[in-house]
Structure 1
């Protein structure tokens, strides 16, 4: 039985890698360092749209390629490998996929073709203060109004909210959790720029009595929590795939550097301690890859993947932490030199680690599921 990727999946991955190799370079990435410019490459985004990659997981009737989540995860991995300034996760995973899965025909026709063509952007507001579970919002509330809702609250770290046509927002009502497609330009919406270590555009979104029409209700109180849980698990798996790309590139960059850097007249890679440290990084990255694509595969097949996503989160956080330290250590002073590309990868590894949450907390959550008989029992 073949557990590898199919020829078509490899073609998608190779196409994405070629585009990112051609269009992403340290010089271009430098343009957004310290917020000197927006971390978004219009030309790259247009090339991804032209190649059909922005619609890789969208159905053909919405101008997509008709593939699935596995192919999209392979694209995300290549974004991580190049740390490209391309909002693939917030737009395609957190935004477009839930609309395609749960949206009405009108919502799909209105939003998805523009996403595939690179003319329209979506995002999702997934965090509140002291709450990282969008399926159970605490600080965002909504009341029924004119067939739609009036929503108030504050969301944090919303990527590319300033460019988005709609952002998916969860809110609690007296009857349960709902999911809404909120216009960031609507009356009552205030976007406050946040500063993050990766320089990605992120915003605090303050909502005050924002009117959301009936046609922008993605899910009512009977299904809102389910939609947000589905969205969260797919976004988490995508972040893990991004971490695969980032850690893999940093590991290979480190191996190449230690093979060239000489001390006492020989490459430092020949030192046993260096070789062991690099080998541990390789093992870590491969374990992360296997756990990530186990979660991706189950999600792509429509199976329950809560345990697999939880395990991938743990690996992604720990591997990012270990590979970041090891790659900087084996590079020596070059590891933190901002004229050398490694520091950007280390920044993204730690950013992803923080976004995925404490490994201790994630392990505790998995342990509770095991104790309750909710894991490894199928």
Structure 2
């Protein structure tokens, strides 16, 4: 059995690496530091659209390439490797994929061609204050008014909400959970800027009796929770893929540095302690790669991946943590110099770790599944 990438997957990976590598550098990223500008490279966005990469998993009839989730994950891994200033996860995975999978024919035709061309930007509001489970909204509620819904409540940490044409979010109803596509410019919607360590534009979203027309209801209360579970798993693993790319780059950056830096007239890469620390980073990154690809593969094949998602989350959190610490340690004072690019990777590794949740909590959750006979039992 061949466990390698298919030819089309290698082509996607190489094309994404080439475009992102050629267009993202420390100098280009510096313009977004400290919120000097929106962390969104429109020219790069247009280049990805022109290359077809924004339409990887969009059906051909909607202007896409008709590939699957695995190809998107490879694109996002490369975005992590370059920490590209683009809303790829929120746009492609958290919003466009659910529309492709669960949307009506009219919704697909209205949004997905623009997704592929880069003309439409989508986002998703997956967290509430003190509630990070989008399958169980608490603060955001909806009531039916004829065929429409009326929304009130709050969401937090919504990426690129000010640029989005629609924001996917879940709402609590009396008989279940509904999923809607919110127009952020609609009456009753207010956006409050938030500041995060990565400088990605994020917003607190407040809803006050916002009316959602029937054509913007993605899923009703009878199946909304299942839709949110579906997209949450894919969003989680996409974050793991981003963490993989960033970890791999930080590890390789550190290896290159130690191969050039001398102490006492000797390359520090020849020091046994340095070699062991770097080797541990390599092993960590390869383990994260294996577990991320396993989860990606199962999701791409439409298979149950609850356990694999848990495992990938645990590895992504721990590996990002260990690699960022080791990279800083082996770089010495250079690692925290903002004229040197490592600090951005360490910031993103920490941010992704916190977004994915405590590894101890994720490990305990997996342990409960094992104890209940829901994992690794025949």
Task: Tell me the TM-score normalized by structure 1.
Answer: 0.99
Does residue 126 (structure 1) correspond to residue 126 (structure 2)? The answer is yes
Where 1:260 maps in the other structure, the secondary structure is: coil
Where 2:259 maps in the other structure, the secondary structure is: helix
**2:197 aligned residue:** 197
**2:331 aligned residue:** 331
Find the aligned partners of 2:300 and 2:148 in 1 and give their Cα distance.
32
Where 1:200 maps in the other structure, the secondary structure is: coil
**2:51 aligned residue:** 51
Output aligned runs, 1:210-289, within 5 Å.
Answer: 210-289=210-289
Find the aligned partners of 1:133 and 1:26 in 2 and give their Cα distance.
35
Does residue 98 (structure 1) correspond to residue 82 (structure 2)? The answer is no
Output aligned runs, 1:317-328, within 5 Å.
Answer: 317-328=317-328
Shift, 1:44, TM fit: 0.2
Shift, 1:376, TM fit: 1.1
Does residue 178 (structure 1) correspond to residue 166 (structure 2)? The answer is no
What is the RMSD of the two structures over their aligned residues, measured on CA atoms? Answer: 0.6
Does residue 11 (structure 1) correspond to residue 14 (structure 2)? The answer is no
Find the aligned partners of 2:356 and 2:30 in 1 and give their Cα distance.
26
Shift, 1:146, TM fit: 2.8
Where 2:170 maps in the other structure, the secondary structure is: strand
Find the aligned partners of 1:205 and 1:31 in 2 and give their Cα distance.
26
Shift, 1:7, TM fit: 1.2
Paired residues, what number? 378
**1:81 aligned residue:** 81
**2:346 aligned residue:** 346
Shift, 1:216, TM fit: 0.6
**5+ long unaligned stretches in structure 2:** none
Per-residue displacement from partner, 1:53-95 (whole Å, max 9, x unpaired)?
0001111111101100000000000000000001110000001
Per-residue displacement from partner, 1:194-250 (whole Å, max 9, x unpaired)?
000000010000011000011111000110000000010000000000000000000
**5+ long unaligned stretches in structure 1:** none
Per-residue displacement from partner, 1:246-293 (whole Å, max 9, x unpaired)?
000000000000000001111100000000000000000000000001
- Displacement over 6 Å in runs of 4+: none
Find the aligned partners of 1:377 and 1:110 in 2 and give their Cα distance.
44
Find the aligned partners of 1:373 and 1:284 in 2 and give their Cα distance.
28
Find the aligned partners of 1:209 and 1:372 in 2 and give their Cα distance.
42
